Structure 1
Amino acid sequence: MGLPLHLPAHGRGRGLSPALQRLLRQRPGSWDLPELPELGGPLIDSGAVAEAQRRCARQLGAEAVWFGVNGASGLLQAALLALAPPGSRVLLPRNLHRSLLHGCVLGQLRPLLYDLPFDPATGLWLPPSPAHLDAVLDAAGAGLLTPADPVAALVLVSPSYQGQRADLPALVALAHRRGLPVLVDQAHGRGEALAAGSDLVVLSAQKAGGGLAQSAALLLQGQRVGQDAVARALLWLQTSSPSALLLASAEAALEELTSPAGLRRWQCARWVGERLQRRCQVLGLPLIASDDPLRLVLHTAALGINGLEADAWLLERGVIAELPEPGALTFCLGLGPPAGVVWRLPRQLQRLRRALGDDPLPPFSAPPLPLVAEPELPLGVAWRSAAEAVPLAAAAGRIAAEPLCPYPPGIPLLVPGERIDSARAAWLQQQARLWPGQIADTVRVVAGSEADGFARIGGS
């Protein structure tokens, strides 16, 4: 019997909301309905969906809630377009979800990518401290009275995929003092960003709730972002035929966040997670600290094991993790942890240590990134330009044509339009030697984007 420890958080149905379970037991297809008058939709003021959105807003303390059927990805894009008019600069963290880059292209926005603290022991980026974000805002010129290029908004990610949370109240307050509205990608969280003062919050029903994949919610509070602007952006990007099943999934997952039964279910899963953490610690299995009790993050580098190799070894034995990285392996317990996981997973991890363990891996080197960087070539132009693959050794000075997400750290080192400076090119070559087979030996660049030809490209 395998151990599925991956998303969705309902754990192959074990943790589905009871309301959703009842719906799925009905005759197949009976719940596949159009926007009938009594049902309505996310952008219709009347009907069951509108009432459910208002009820969830009251329960969560938001001024407005919209259900989404294109996952957190679609709602992040809509939120970004609601925040900033075309041509605006928006501050995005390097650990952003790629949907935000797509949103910048759709909204003709200028991404300002800001670097994050880096942990050399694990190879993971860490949440920004208030002092770090203050330096980022200074570097971006945010909050200046007469900036040449004002910053329109700040995006934060909390918690991270590994369950590490930022000090959101302090970070949001810092941004608000600079006059910036804040969007929090909280796909892996439970809505805490709203209490922290965030203006827009995106939740995923399948990552931290008992809902189905592709169901999500966008929450709004305060006066910094208009409800009309959000509705207009949703109208542009969301389907005109939303799935009634996914709308019901979003409703059920949000109500689970605040209902007594849902909180009891989460507390039971948390209890299992805490027992599992203690069991691993007793056995001397190195863990990376996580603020989410339903995430277990094994520090594979401390065991001398590449996390991707650990994942392959465990897969052969029926243990399915959520996220392998060179220095870590993340397991998601979900709202219905598998039976016996407290004993079964540590036993397999002990076997992994005996089979593949060695001296700890050397520290990871942080990628040489500027604190704040804007692509030289507009994001959309670079993405649509003719491209060519060049060896890493010849990449310095060229302009990236697509996102580059090497391991480590597994999030964009380059986005389309960024110039590949010599330091980053050398770092990539070093990583390719350290992690053969995990980093491509070529990179796609804008055709003819040598430094002396940039004026021709940029002016086209």
Structure 2
Amino acid sequence: MPSLLELLRPDRRLAMHLPVHGRGAALPPRLRRLLRQSPGSWDLPELPEIGGPLERQGAVASSQAQLAEAMGVDHCWFGVNGATGLLQAGLLAMAQPGDAVLLPRNAHRCLIAACELGGVMPVFLPVPFLADRGHAGSMNAEGLRQSLDPWPDPGRPISGAVLVHPTYHGYSAEIRELIELLHAKGLPVMVDEAHGTHLAFAAKRSRPLSALAAGADLVVHSLHKSAPGLAQTAVLWHRAQRVDHARLHRSLARLQTTSPSALLLASCETTLNWLFSHHWSSLYEDRRSEAINLVDDLRRRGVHIHASDDPLRLILATGELGVSGLDADDLCMRQGVIAELPEPLCLTFCLGFARHRGLAKRLLRIWRALALEGGGVPLTQIPDPPLQSTSIPELTPDEAQRRAHCIRPLAQCVDHIAAELICPYPPGVPLLVPGERISADRCRWLQSQHQRWPDQVPGMVKVLA
């Protein structure tokens, strides 16, 4: 097995995965120049002139203040623990121990971890399921309205709500309407927009709309999943009307490193400044047009591609050929193309912001090779999960994981309370959360998922003893 250092050398394979800078090809120009300088010259501590995201003085504080003003919000913080750390800090700033928060069923697993850390009860809101693709779609206003009527009663105060927009696959929510509905209920709203950073920097009339333009109180952007920064970089935008600044600052201090990488902080600053430039606007429109033309060309040639609201996410419908996305991913690897997200019924590519010459020909060749392997009999669709109504776990995730547990086969878990998270990664969307009681139909659905995805969905599960 080669060492990690050996694996970081240049690679001839086509990078259709995160980060979206395409192995450096689309990094902001100033950042590329920095990385060409003397090795290690950028590996610095929080020197007084540099500071850090939570410091009042220094270049970082100055940059954050300027960017907040440019974005039209009250505060901005850089993150070097990805969107994960900022989402967790935001949730813990909204909810006190013993409170509850509204989470969409397709919330990222890091938010469940935040509930564990803070003794918070998640109240799950249903999200449409796309059976022909085997994954969640996006939330709509009517669905949320029905979920909140009657108002969920977890036996404790509900102190905030989280939304996902867009999803990992690029499906956008009716974000303005959702935020307005939740604000009308008196709740602050945080939006996980990790996969939609580019929406905030597109033309003003562009659709889908960014959660920042839609009035969210907290928005977390990844700067490597949907912007061309280095991996592990992110930004949190804050409007102070509904979320207290001091509480948010304390929450960030609990979860952020005291030794942030100066290189990653510089990547945050440089990437955001690049996104505000007219050069970025031109590059983004070019890549977006190229992606739309690519999909149109492939469809004309008979390649089946699922629709997405983000043309930079290409979802290959491998199940229609009788091939799982997991097997398709193996074939792509052999063909020198690294995809982003294999699933039982599809394979998602992240086109990113680098230019990929000859991509249409390579994907067409892959599709034809898959057609030969599949035999032409489509795979059966994945049935909707029994999660189509608002649900409240019986115990908070932290309570469930502190209690004595045993391990049972899935088939013997009916009516037991889960003591562990079942969560395929990626995409990091939980299928079972600690504290939830496993009904018979939920058990059957999980068993079907295990048969399709045995490496990600275990056949043995921890439940309360």
Query: Structure 2-normalised TM-score?
Result: 0.91
Q: Check if 1:118 corresponds to 2:129.
A: yes
2:162 corresponds in structure 1 to: 155
In structure 1, the residue corresponding to 2:190 is in which secondary structure?
Answer: strand
Q: 1:234 to 1:408 in 2, by over 3 A?
A: closer
Task: Identify which of 441, 457, 462 aligns with 1:423.
Answer: 441
Paired residues, what number? 443
Match of 2:351 among 333, 338, 350: 333
Alignment of 1:5 with 2:13, yes or no, is no
Given the superposition, is the C-alpha separation of residues 48 and 336 from structure 1 closer, same or farther in structure 2, using an over 3 Å criterion? same
Contact 2:99 2:157 in 1 (8 A): yes
Q: Among 35, 60, 79, which residue is 2:46 paired with?
A: 35
Instruction: Give the one of 178, 182, 189 matched to 1:182.
Output: 189
- Output aligned runs, 1:54-133, within 5 Å: 54-133=65-144
Shift of the 150–288 alpha-carbon distance from structure 1 to 2, 3 Å rule, reads same
1:217-228 alignment, distance < 5 Å? 217-228=235-246
The letter of the residue matching 1:422 is A
TM-superposed deviation, 1:148:
5.4
Q: Show CA shifts across 1:323-353 (max 9, x none).
A: 0111111101111132322332233223222
The residue that corresponds to 2:172 in the other structure is 165
Matches within 5 A, 1:31-430: 31-141=42-152, 149-190=156-197, 191=200, 192-369=210-387, 371-405=389-423, 411-430=429-448
Summarize deviations over 1:400-432 as a string: whole Å, max 9, x none: 111113699973221011111122112223444
* Stretch deviating more after TM superposition (80-89 or 340-349): 340-349
- Report the CA distance between 1:194 and its aligned residue: 0.3
Secondary structure at 1:193 match in 2:
coil
Report the identity percentage.
49
Q: Deviations over 1:191-212 (max 9, x none)?
A: 3110011110001111011111
Gaps of at least 5 residues in structure 2 are: 1-11, 201-209
Q: Which amino acid aligns with 1:162?
A: H
Q: Given the alignment of the two structures, is residue 19 of structure 1 paired with residue 26 of structure 2, yes or no?
A: no
Instruction: Please tell me the residue identity of whatever aligns with 1:161.
Output: Y
Aligned letter for 1:181?
P
Q: 1:83 to 1:410 in 2, by over 3 A?
A: closer
Q: Distance in 2 between matches of 1:406 and 1:31?
A: 36
Check whether the contact 1:93–1:115 (CA below 8 A) recurs between aligned residues: yes
**Cα shift readout 1:88-119 (whole Å, capped 9, x = no counterpart):** 11011121111101111112111112221112
* C-alpha distance 279-180 of structure 1, shift in aligned 2 (>3 A): same
SS in 1 for 2:149: helix
Unaligned runs of 5+ in 1: 449-460
Structure 2 residue identity aligned to 1:428:
L
Q: In structure 1, the residue corresponding to 2:148 is in which secondary structure?
A: helix
Which shifted more, 92-101 or 371-380?
A: 371-380
After TM superposition, the score normalised by the length of structure 1 is 0.92
Residue pair 1:124, 1:409 contacting (<8 A) in 2 also:
no
Q: Distance in 2 between the 1:436 and 1:183 partners?
A: 33
Contact 1:155 1:184 in 2 (8 A): yes
- Separation (CA, whole Å) in 2 of partners of 1:337 and 1:387: 51
Cα distance change on mapping 1:248 and 1:406 into 2, 3 Å:
closer
